[in-house]
């Protein structure tokens, strides 16, 4: 029965992934913004009004950041022809270099006699084709004249604009529909958090009520610590990366530095993801090879320092998960939910550990998950 229940739970998580992902993301935003709501409530405002004020400020900040990002992207699109021509030039040079290296390797490793035999085999079809062409003196049949406009009438139906828009939007309609619920879910979670918490605690009695209260507080604290710690570390990396890219003359260094800094925090694939944006930006303009190597070395050094020195102090001291559990969690949730599962794997596992640590019968499982 336990195996059947586990299989049913996994199937429910897989087929209902859009619902659960939306709910988890909303809960994470709620955990982050709840202290701000408590702070605004000190101004003698009710919880619903304070939640509305906090969400309005958060949406305005996100909008401002989006406008700044859009301006950088707009400037980047203006230079796309230059980038395309430069990338084509680099591709052609690389192809010529690979062909030259292949040819020189072939000449160095293959004996001369075999090379000559191969050249003769390649020339035989060409010689035979030339002989057949000399023997054939008959002129080629004239091609029929193409039909004129009077002969053929082509009727085309223009594609309605609404059909084109729907064709593109239908692929992401379900995702956009779920994301549209996030602001409303966050608002109701913040404005009704006291009511929901009291209602949940009233379902239990005595010691169980105490454990449930500690579990809810532990999950909120671990989630908040993980997200805010990663955000602070990502902002530090983004600032340091942007400064280094500016000194190295990388184009669009504010945009590239921000993207590289936050991508560096991706589990296991952070280093190649962090190197890719500045490398592509630097390759698209004439640069010395030493500049490219310096750029890669600086990005790799920032990534290593952040994960080995800063990450344990900023995030790891509050989220105590052992590396084996983290790896298994990343594999499981990425297989279940794809890329978004890779990002949510550690917060979900930390929340599960928070529950296990505060429930007496489940503490052995918390020790198993911990470091």
Collapse the DSSP code of 91 into the 3-class scheme (helix H, G, I; strand E, B; otherwise coil) and give the result.
Answer: helix
Q: Taking Cα atoms as reference points, which of 227, 228, 222 lies closest to residue 354?
A: 222
Predicted confidence at residue 267, as pLDDT, reads: 72
Q: Taking Cα atoms as reference points, which of 76, 90, 89 lies closest to residue 252?
A: 76
pLDDT in tens, 279-321: 877 776 666 667 778 888 888 888 888 877 777 776 666 677 7
Given a cut of 70, whether residue 17 has pLDDT beyond it is: yes
Collapse the DSSP code of 265 into the 3-class scheme (helix H, G, I; strand E, B; otherwise coil) and give the result.
Answer: coil
Q: For the residues 8-29, what does the mean pLDDT come to? A: 88
- The label of the residue with tokens 């993301």 reads 25
d(CA 274, CA 302): 10
Given a cut of 60, whether residue 213 has pLDDT beyond it is: yes
> Which positions ≥6 away from 307 have C-beta within 8 Å?
264, 270
| 225 exposure class (CB count in 10 Å sphere: 0-12, 13-18, 19+) | middle
Of residues 291 and 112, more confidence is placed in 291
Given a cut of 60, whether residue 208 has pLDDT beyond it is: yes
pLDDT in tens, 160-204: 555 555 555 555 666 677 778 888 888 898 888 888 888 888 888
Predicted confidence at residue 362, as pLDDT, reads: 83
- For residue 83, what is the DSSP state? H
Calculate the CA dihedral of residues 187, 192, 197, 203 and round it to 10 degrees. Answer: -120
Confidence of residue 16 (pLDDT cuts 50, 70, 90): confident
> Which positions ≥6 away from 208 have C-beta within 8 Å?
none
Predicted confidence at residue 146, as pLDDT, reads: 53
d(CA 105, CA 365): 58
Q: Taking Cα atoms as reference points, which of 24, 357, 351, 294 lies closest to residue 178?
A: 24
pLDDT in tens, 93-108: 777 777 777 777 766 6
Q: What is the DSSP string of 148-159?
A: -TTT-----PPP
* Alpha carbon 156 to chain centroid, angstroms: 41
Report the Cα–Cα distance between both ends of the chain, in Å, rounded: 31
Predicted confidence at residue 78, as pLDDT, reads: 67
Cα separations (Å) of 264 from 103, 281, 339?
Answer: 39, 17, 15
Given a cut of 80, whether residue 233 has pLDDT beyond it is: yes
> Which positions ≥6 away from 238 have C-beta within 8 Å?
257, 258, 260, 261, 262
Predicted confidence at residue 152, as pLDDT, reads: 45
Q: What is the mean pLDDT of the chain?
A: 77
Q: For the residues 4-13, what does the mean pLDDT come to? A: 88
d(CA 217, CA 209): 12
Taking a C-beta distance cutoff of 8 angstroms, is the pair 335, 17 a contact? no
d(CA 78, CA 200): 55
Taking a C-beta distance cutoff of 8 angstroms, is the pair 219, 250 a contact? no
Given a cut of 70, whether residue 328 has pLDDT beyond it is: yes
> Which positions ≥6 away from 245 have C-beta within 8 Å?
253, 256, 257, 260, 278, 295
Q: Taking Cα atoms as reference points, which of 344, 335, 22 lies closest to residue 176?
A: 22
> Residue 267 half-sphere exposure, CB side, CA atoms within 13 Å?
18
Q: What is the pTM of this model?
A: 0.66
H-helix or E-strand spanning residue 52: helix 47-78
Predicted confidence at residue 120, as pLDDT, reads: 59
Predicted confidence at residue 211, as pLDDT, reads: 83
Confidence of residue 87 (pLDDT cuts 50, 70, 90): low
Confidence of residue 110 (pLDDT cuts 50, 70, 90): low
Q: For the residues 321-350, what does the mean pLDDT come to? A: 85
* Alpha carbon 133 to chain centroid, angstroms: 59
Predicted confidence at residue 217, as pLDDT, reads: 83
Predicted confidence at residue 149, as pLDDT, reads: 46
Of residues 349 and 108, more confidence is placed in 349
Confidence of residue 128 (pLDDT cuts 50, 70, 90): low
C-beta neighbour count of 234 within 10 angstroms? 17
d(CA 153, CA 143): 21
Q: Taking Cα atoms as reference points, which of 291, 254, 261 lies closest to residue 276?
A: 261
């Amino acid at each position: 029965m336990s195996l059947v229940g586990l299989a049913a739970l996994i199937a429910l998580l897989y087929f209902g992934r859009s619902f659960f992902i939306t709910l988890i993301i909303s809960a994470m935003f709620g955990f982050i913004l709840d202290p701000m709501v408590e702070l605004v409530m000190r101004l003698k405002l009710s919880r619903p009004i304070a939640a509305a004020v906090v969400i309005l400020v958060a949406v305005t900040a996100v909008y401002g950041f989006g406008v700044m990002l859009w301006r950088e992207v707009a400037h980047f699109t203006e230079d796309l022809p230059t980038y395309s021509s430069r990338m084509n030039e680099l591709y052609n040079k690389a192809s010529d270099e690979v062909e030259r290296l292949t040819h020189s390797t072939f000449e160095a490793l293959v004996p001369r006699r075999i090379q000559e035999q191969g050249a003769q085999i390649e020339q035989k079809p060409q010689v035979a084709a030339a002989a057949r062409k000399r023997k054939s003196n008959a002129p080629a049949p004239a091609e029929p004249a193409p039909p004129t406009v009077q002969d053929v009438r082509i009727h085309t139906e223009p594609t309605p604009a609404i059909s084109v828009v729907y064709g593109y939007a239908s692929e992401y309609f379900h995702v956009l529909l779920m994301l549209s619920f996030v602001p409303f879910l966050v608002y109701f979670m913040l404005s009704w958090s006291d009511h929901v918490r009291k209602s949940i605690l009233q379902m239990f009695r005595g010691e169980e009520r105490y454990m449930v209260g500690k579990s809810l507080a532990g999950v909120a604290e671990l989630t908040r610590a993980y997200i805010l710690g990663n955000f602070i570390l990502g902002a530090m990396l983004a600032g340091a990366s942007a400064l280094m890219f500016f000194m190295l003359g990388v184009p669009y260094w504010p945009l590239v530095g921000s993207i590289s800094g936050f991508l560096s925090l991706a589990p296991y694939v952070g280093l190649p993801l962090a190197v890719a944006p500045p490398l592509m930006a630097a390759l698209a303009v004439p640069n010395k090879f030493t500049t490219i190597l310096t750029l890669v070395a600086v990005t790799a050094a920032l990534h290593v320092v952040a994960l080995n020195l800063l990450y344990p102090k900023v995030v790891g001291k509050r989220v105590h998960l052992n590396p084996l559990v983290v790896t298994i969690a990343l594999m499981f949730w990425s297989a279940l939910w794809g890329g978004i599962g890779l990002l949510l794997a550690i917060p979900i596992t930390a929340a599960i550990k928070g529950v296990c640590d505060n429930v007496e019968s489940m503490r052995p499982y918390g020790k198993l998950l911990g470091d």
